[in-house]
Structure 1
Amino acid sequence: MDTLVRIMDEKLAGPMNKLANQRHLRAVRDGIVATLPLIIVGSFFLILGNPPLPKDWGVYKFLVENAPKIVLPFRMTMAIMTLYATFGIGYSLAESYDLDGLSGGILATAAFLLTFTPVNVPAVAALVKDGVLTAEAAANLTLPVAGFVLPIANLGGGGMFVGIVTAIIAIEIFRFTDRSGFKISMPPQVPASVSRSFEVLVPTAIVVTLIGGITYWLGFDWHGFIATLVKPLLSATDSLPSVIIQVLLVTVFWSFGIHGVSIVGSVARPIWLQLLDANQAALDAGKALPHISPEPFFQWFIWIGGSGATIGLAIAMAFFAKSAYAKSLGKTAFVPAVFNINEPVIFGAPIVLNPILMIPFILTPVVLAIIAWFATSLGFVARVYTVAPWTLPGPIGAYIATGGDIGAVILNIVLIIVSFLIYFPFFKIYDNKLYIEEQEN
């Protein structure tokens, strides 16, 4: 075991930390994470439009009747999250190159929007076609004859990969023009804000001409092309083997002191968001939710108490410890664990490089993932479609993420019990070891 720990530390820790801090992956992570407040708040409006209440309640009837207006904040936040994420990616990547972050965010957003072709359609006809109004009602409305529209689906999770690619292209062009001096420089007397605007003129011209030319003159379908490439990946990611692999990667990295969620999440989060977006679109259209494992599935059915599903270990330490150290740490770590904060346990027990506790730390989430995946795929538990704040206690978060499914609450409680049962024998071995050491000293 000592040899394995040494090899992992020497051969893996360095490269993995470098990967986690690679500027493009870090920018993608920062840009997407910055949209989480909008995603969380916007998702609540989707729940209000599809309330988990008895259908004979007056409040249910009111919410359903007014659902088209209620879900509008969702459409302007979560439903177009890639638009916000692209700005964040551009901002973060530009700052990593010591470029102006605000200019980088705007440039990245423009590059993303240039992958869309606005369509000029009759506004009334579009409403009638979508079934929003009858022909008679539409005829009595005063609406413009035509208007330009964008496909909102690709402004959301469906366009995430296009947003990432175009944001990186835009900022790399920005960096090239800055480093090569191929830019318009103003005298020192010019205000900084004006000077920055002129400095970005050249990269803006290049980005608009390049991305716009590819989209409008070459007729390249960015979104269709990327969707074709990503579709097999999305299907694979939603499978049980893929879920288990992701869980193993996170926990194995954490076991050696490497922030597993940062590494795996940098790559997987765009995919998780596309799965979540597809579920929300299906719910909004009144269809069955297609995907099992968007990110909330991991949060509320696997990472209960934090990475490694350490809620079971926290309970064992808080209420069943014999050694003074474990008992004291348990009292300290139990409340944070209830709210999914487990750094006190990971580094305090510790779990990192601890051969006794590493085993259940890796094993428990795999068992929980298998149970939750089958419970969801067989229809015992509703599929997740919204993002609840990650600091909520597990049963509450599961209830919200599934739109008010009691089965999700029951499953979450069952999984907490399973976590405790798996951790307990390993905890007793470790606790007895600590107790003997305390007695000897």
Structure 2
Amino acid sequence: MPMFKAMSHLSANKYLVAVSNVFLMALPLVLISTFCELIAITCEYFKFNDFGKIAQEVGQATRVIIPLLINFYLATYLSAVKRIPKSAAIATSLTVFFIISYQWNLISPLIPLPNSFLVSLLSAYVSCEVIARLKNIRIFRLKSNQSFIDISMSMLAGSIVTILAALSISFLFRKVFEQVSSFFSWSLIPRLDPTSFFDGLIYEVLRGLLWSIGINGHNILHTYKVELYNITRTNITEWHNYGVDLNILSTNFYDFFTGIGGSGNMLSLVICMLLFAKSKGYKILAKSAFILCVFNVNEPILYGIPVIFNPIMIIPFLVVPAVSFVIAYGAIYFGVVPPLSEIHSWLMPPFISGYMVTGGAISGVILQILIVLTGIVIYMPFFKLMDKRSLGIGVSDILSNRLFTSDEIESKTRLTSFIPSLHNNLISQRKIEKLQNSGEFILYFQPQVNIENSRIVGCEVLLRFKNNKDEILPPTFIDDFNQLGLMPELDFWVLDKAIKSAERFIVVNPDFVISINISPSTVLSKNFVNIVKKRIIESTLSFHHIELEFTEELLIRDEKKITEIITELQYLGISVALDDFGTGYSSLAYLSRFEFNKVKIDRSLVLNLDTQRGRELFKIAVQLGKIIDADIVVEGVEQQPELDFIASLGVRYIQGFYFYKPMAEDVLFQRGLLTSQKGEVVDN
């Protein structure tokens, strides 16, 4: 259906999914707050007032902290996506959140802390967006050769500018709001009639809309509910004393017919999850929330699916109570179910409540069962879409501190705490500074040989470090660059150097191809294809002289975007290779989803060629590459028997110590390898 397709695309938006996940991460605090409130109500019932008061205050204080936590989580996520300093993003976001909240008086009456979920999210988005844009201005730009003090000053300057900008914008909007308010009378807004069918339906929809953006609809529409409660008490008293007709709408009408299990008739959704969920996480969540839903507490589901800020689940969350309202109203209006003649606590479990409030009528219970079943039918397709897309995160993972993922929801980088991350950044910064003072980065090249004619057809570019003692060291520093978010800078440096080398190579061998490894963060960076295109156009190379190698780590991130990038590169004439084929669990799946010009079989498969099983697996890997019509390169070939077996399978290209070890650019020329027609077995 077009509607579900549109919702599916919308729900896959990395920012909307991030919002859903940060609410999910707040679930433990929500559970603590909810249980404290239940304990307080129970203590009040049994007259344990002192302990009940403490539990209530703990629950309320915990709930006030949730918007701050959400702001922190979202700022952390966005700092990874936009590749900005995490410490600056968090500090600035929280500061802006406090400033705007105090400007607009969006402060909790219990504890003087900001309590608006909407402002919490917006302040994180705006702060990180401004900081990201400031990076394009020279004075705010962070450079790898800067000292830690210089970087700190640049971060501080960016944070101050962002805070001032947010303060100014908020102040401007506040003034405009005040001016509009002076010309607009709030008395012109129609007052909802608590006894009217249409006004009651409007109230129910408004309550759901407020909940869907993280605002407790009961609190905002408290005046309506208080007025309805007073009207209900008076009506029931007059019914007992004078026999007047009972109103259809009463204070318990919403509690027991449109809020079964909490707002949105959450009991229907919980049962739907128990019956149809395939995700283990959703099953656990449903089992955990069921007992609370029996007492009409729905926060674990609101935050755990989540429903809040979830474009898929908001629709049934609004539709189910509205349909329930119409069914219950009609049942009472046509006399199928007697009107509610008693007032009970909203915590009374379903079915018991239907029996009690209708004066012991079984029809009240049947009506609630019908409403729950109707809700299950409405919730089912929407929840199945959620379950299929696996947008939620398992509650068991949350409780074991496996938090949400960074960059895109599909990626595997976990959100770490602020202090350890800052510590790791400092260590990486020191290591890189030490490298810069003790040597230089250089490129080495490992030839790829066509074993049919023994001709070198190209080289893979390998990054190395040459220290002041002329020792060549492997790239153990890659993790430090990745920790600091500097991989794009490093990759583009390698690209530039490789292009300059290739300009020399093609003079001798016009068909020579340079193969360059590109990290996932670089491929997903803004304007990646255009940057590569520009660098090649500005050189003497043609696009077919360049080959880019992608690993499986990249492919698990954003399938749609990666497909577009690969297509654009291949359209230009740049070859795209799948590197380290056979090392991941999903290599076969990626061969079916992406179009690769070349597949590089990892050495790990070569090492097992001395066993029958290893040879069979290797044959399968080669056959898979042939099925997708890709060239096959086998890496790590060192022995003659390995070469003989690989050649017998029709594989043409070899890269390994059997022919050549990685070597410097000048060595390639000195040994005449660019023009040789016959591969040398000199490095074996």
Length-normalised TM-score, structure 1? 0.45
More strand by share: 2
More helix by share: 1
Mark the structure with the bigger radius of gyration: 2
Name the structure, 1 or 2, with higher relative contact order (CA <8 Å, separation 6+): 1
Length-normalised TM-score, structure 2? 0.30
